[in-house]
Amino acid sequence: MDPMLTIAVRAARAAGDIIVRSMDRVNLLTITPKGRNDFVSEVDRQAEREIIHTLQKAYPTHAFLGEESGRQGAAKTDFVWIIDPLDGTTNFLHGFPQFCVSIALLHRGRIEKGVIYDPLRQELFTAARGAGASLNNRRIRVSKQNGLKGALLGTGFPFKDQRHVDAYLGMLRDLMKDTAGIRRAGSAALDLAYVAAGRLDGFWEIGLKKWDMAAGVLLIQEAGGIVTDLAGTGKYFESGNVLTANPKLHQIMQGVIQPHLTDALRATVDPTDDPSE
């Protein structure tokens, strides 16, 4: 395995061990609200510290962008690790078994490595640019679903920001007419990994952050899928809005979503985004 990917896997597994060991004492954890319907636990922080410690020991000149600790490390560097130590914190706090660790490496503005680890199922999704995507060392590909009929889609509700609820509900209503079903499991990173593995045929969500998407985007691209924002551009990191599937289904989904796009959703920059991120 690629040396940088090997270190990232080691960090993800270490964080996963912390998360699993904490599951039987969730009621004793310190939980802090970060915003509307958004929480952080001491497990998130401990897992992130462990990831950064592991990566920093191997790459002391790299920088880090973590969901809980923000930007740290070298001020001037071509390498930035993007970390979500526990994607699906609300699920974890409720004992709902759908959460993961997500780690990606950005080199000169381009994602080069990605790891998503589900510690409960011990499923390890990995990708390196130009080398494909794997699940537990077996190559994965996006599904070949060529239409909405029979498709299984994933999504996430815009629960933190209520501005886009009406537009989102319009998209949901029109997409669900012909599909086999739409799932909202509560961990965007894991949903993206499932698209890469062909478990979900497509996925869309409004209002994600870089750490929610970074590793999953590379997984999907290396598995043969397309990733754009809802308007079909490559500005998903800037807007926080993402649409992904295989090329044919992506085109169909975008056609259904297009009439529901507001000016705010067409914007390439999320006005609520923190520039320090």
The residues facing 128 across adjacent strands are 113
Q: Does residue 39 have a pLDDT over 50?
A: no
In order of 121, 166, 178, 256, the CA distances from 173 in angstroms are 32, 11, 10, 10
The residues facing 65 across adjacent strands are 71, 82
CA Rg value for the chain: 18
In order of 17, 56, 152, 206, 245, the CA distances from 171 in angstroms are 38, 42, 15, 11, 16
pLDDT tens, 201-225? 999 999 999 999 999 999 999 999 9
Domain 3-139 in CATH 3.40.190.10: no
pLDDT tens, 156-173? 998 777 889 999 999 999
pLDDT tens, 112-124? 999 999 999 999 9
Q: Does residue 242 have a pLDDT over 80?
A: yes
DSSP helix/strand/coil, 229:
coil
Q: What pLDDT sits at residue 165?
A: 94
In order of 58, 95, 111, the CA distances from 73 in angstroms are 13, 33, 18
For the chain, the structural domain boundaries read 3-139, 152-266
Helices (H), 25-125: 42-58, 89-94
For domain 152-266, which architecture applies?
A: 3-Layer(aba) Sandwich (3.40)
Q: Give me 88's structure tokens.
A: 């699906």
Give the global pTM. Answer: 0.92
